[in-house]
C-alpha cells in the first residue's frame, strides 16, 4: 500500500507540477519538476489540506506553482482543469485513508 497519493495536476512541455498528499498528515507538497528523461525537482511548496487558512490552501499553492512555472497567472481553463484534478486527488486521498486499517 502506498504511503501517499501522488497526482500530476499540470503539465507544460517538459515541466510538470504534481501534488503529493500523505495519508497520515495535514500538509501536502506541491512540486515543480523539469526534464523529460530524468526530471529534476526545481521547487516545493507546502500546503494545508484543510481549507480554513485560505492563503496556505492546496489550491492556492498549486496556482502559485503554475504562476511560477509559466511566468504569468494561469488561464481560466487551466484553473478549472486544475481544480478538477485536485478534487479527484482529494477524493482518492479520502478513499485511501478510509481503507487503511488503524494501527
Tell me what pLDDT residue 41 has: 96
Q: First CA to last CA across the chain, in angstroms?
A: 14
- CA distances 51 to 20, 41, 60, Å, are 17, 26, 10
Tell me what pLDDT residue 95 has: 86
Judge whether 2 and 17 are in contact, CB under 8 Å: no
- Which residue, among 85, 78, 97, has the nearest Cα to 19 in the 3D structure? 85
Tell me what pLDDT residue 18 has: 95
Tell me what pLDDT residue 96 has: 84
d(CA 27, CA 16): 20
Q: Which residue has the cell 496556505?
A: 56
Tell me what pLDDT residue 56 has: 85
One digit per residue, the tens of pLDDT, for the chain of length 103 reads: 578 899 999 999 999 999 999 987 789 999 999 998 999 999 999 998 876 777 788 999 999 999 999 999 999 999 999 999 999 998 888 888 887 666 6
d(CA 77, CA 30): 20
Amino acid at each position: 500500500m502506498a504511503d501517499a497519493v501522488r497526482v500530476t495536476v499540470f503539465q507544460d512541455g517538459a515541466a510538470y507540477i504534481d501534488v503529493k498528499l500523505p495519508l497520515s498528515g495535514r500538509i501536502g507538497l506541491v512540486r515543480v519538476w523539469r526534464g523529460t528523461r530524468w526530471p529534476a525537482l526545481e521547487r516545493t511548496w507546502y500546503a494545508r489540506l484543510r481549507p480554513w487558512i485560505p492563503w496556505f490552501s492546496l489550491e492556492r499553492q498549486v496556482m502559485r506553482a503554475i504562476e511560477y512555472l509559466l511566468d504569468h497567472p494561469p488561464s481560466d481553463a487551466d484553473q478549472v482543469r486544475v481544480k478538477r484534478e485536485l478534487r479527484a486527488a482529494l477524493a482518492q486521498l479520502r478513499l485511501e485513508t478510509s481503507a487503511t486499517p488503524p494501527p
